[in-house]
Amino acid sequence: GERVVDIRAHEKGERFEELPMENFEGHTRAFIKVQDGCDRRCAYCVIPRARGASRSRSEESVVQELTALAAAGYKEVVLSGINLPSYGKDTGTDLVSLIEAAARVEGIERIRLGSLEPDLLSDEAIARMAAVKELCPQFHLSLQSGCTATLRRMRRVYTAEEYARVVEKLRAAFGGFASFTTDVIVGFPGETEDEFAESLAFVCAQKFLKVHVFPYSRRAGTPAADFPGQLTEAQKADRVHRLQTAADEVRGALAREMLGTEDTVLLEKAVSGSLFTGYTRLYLPVAVKAPGAAAGQIVTARLTEWDGERARAEVI
């Protein structure tokens, strides 16, 4: 009847723990974790202590699983990790090589990537990624703040300007057909109203398709937990609301700009006989009228309306 909690501490050089895929969305998109842990030390983050150093799943094992998924009918996969661009640093390979290998698996038609650290995307990596036609041009680039002074205190390793340059490079490499999503923390210790305003203006200028806004959360054992200038929960909630409202307006404007354009949609769920929900390559949620089609099929559709939640589209 005794409760035992016995957790082995992480050690340098430990190997990736093989796990089968994490979850499925319907039977169309599978999430595969290919990397774990992180070698960085952002001031607010417990992950390096909780998950240990960066380590990668072997390319062979990932390809094996992708082959099985493709055989089971999955067309889209999301490669994910705690610090995904670190993939392969411990095994002598790199993330782009893994993407290229995934694209060679017959039946895998769409590849998406989990969260990316902007400073780890070199010009060469971006150019090679742009050459993989199966890679959806939708990038979740971790930002955390659009104010360089706040980024410094967070111990992030890029400036807001450097971040913006990576976005520009990705956009250019994909011929202007790319979308970006991100995470932002508001109310980090010492974040002044001016710094928050700078972050908000930066976020709006990047034209993210989606922004996940989080209030700073004080985690015991992290340096930031003891930083001076902790904000109240009410101050943080107010900033979350202001930033999320502004970011959602940008999302609506971007979605409306896309009306009239065409993109492919992976039909995920049948809502009625001929109406399906799914996502475009740019990760815009859509409801597609596709008579005679079936879930799991990829169709080309034209976006016709935006209702604030998802776009309406018609198969061409």
Interface residues toward ligand SF4, by CB under 6 A: 38, 40-42, 45, 47-48, 82-83, 117
Minimum CB separation from ligand SF4 for residue 45, in Å?
3
Could you tell me if 190 and 228 are in contact, meaning their C-beta atoms sit under 8 angstroms apart? yes
Could you tell me if 281 and 290 are in contact, meaning their C-beta atoms sit under 8 angstroms apart? no
Bridge partners (DSSP) of residue 76 are 29, 110
Instruction: Write phi, then psi, for 186 (nearest 5 degrees).
Output: -115, 155
What size, in residues, is the chain? 316
Minimum CB separation from ligand SF4 for residue 154, in Å?
8
Could you tell me if 36 and 17 are in contact, meaning their C-beta atoms sit under 8 angstroms apart? yes
Minimum CB separation from ligand SF4 for residue 22, in Å?
17
Bridge partners (DSSP) of residue 56 are 35
Minimum CB separation from ligand SF4 for residue 78, in Å?
17
Minimum CB separation from ligand SF4 for residue 214, in Å?
11
Is the dihedral angle over the CA atoms 279, 282, 285, 287 positive or is it negative? negative
Residue 204, CB half-sphere, CA atoms under 13 Å: how many?
14
Question: How many angstroms separate the CA atoms of 188 and 227, rounded?
Answer: 9
Minimum CB separation from ligand SF4 for residue 71, in Å?
33
Residue 183 or 238 with smaller CB distance to ligand SF4: 183
Residues 6 or more apart whose Cβ sits within 8 Å of residue 47: 37, 38, 82
Residue 142 or 280 with smaller CB distance to ligand SF4: 142
Residue 41 or 269 with smaller CB distance to ligand SF4: 41
Minimum CB separation from ligand SF4 for residue 91, in Å?
19
Residue 48 or 114 with smaller CB distance to ligand SF4: 48
Residue with tokens 């065409």: 262
Q: Angle at Cα 189 formed by Cα 165 and Cα 241, nearest 5°?
A: 75
Residue 47 or 298 with smaller CB distance to ligand SF4: 47
Token pair of 73, please?
């009918």
DSSP conformational letter for 13: T
Residue 51 or 171 with smaller CB distance to ligand SF4: 51
Minimum CB separation from ligand SF4 for residue 246, in Å?
23
Residue 157 or 204 with smaller CB distance to ligand SF4: 157
Minimum CB separation from ligand SF4 for residue 309, in Å?
30
The pairing of strands 23-25 and 29-36 is antiparallel
Residue 51 or 312 with smaller CB distance to ligand SF4: 51
Residue 144 or 179 with smaller CB distance to ligand SF4: 144
Token pair of 140, please?
């979740």
Residues 6 or more apart whose Cβ sits within 8 Å of residue 288: 265, 267, 275, 276, 277, 278, 299, 301, 312, 313, 314, 315
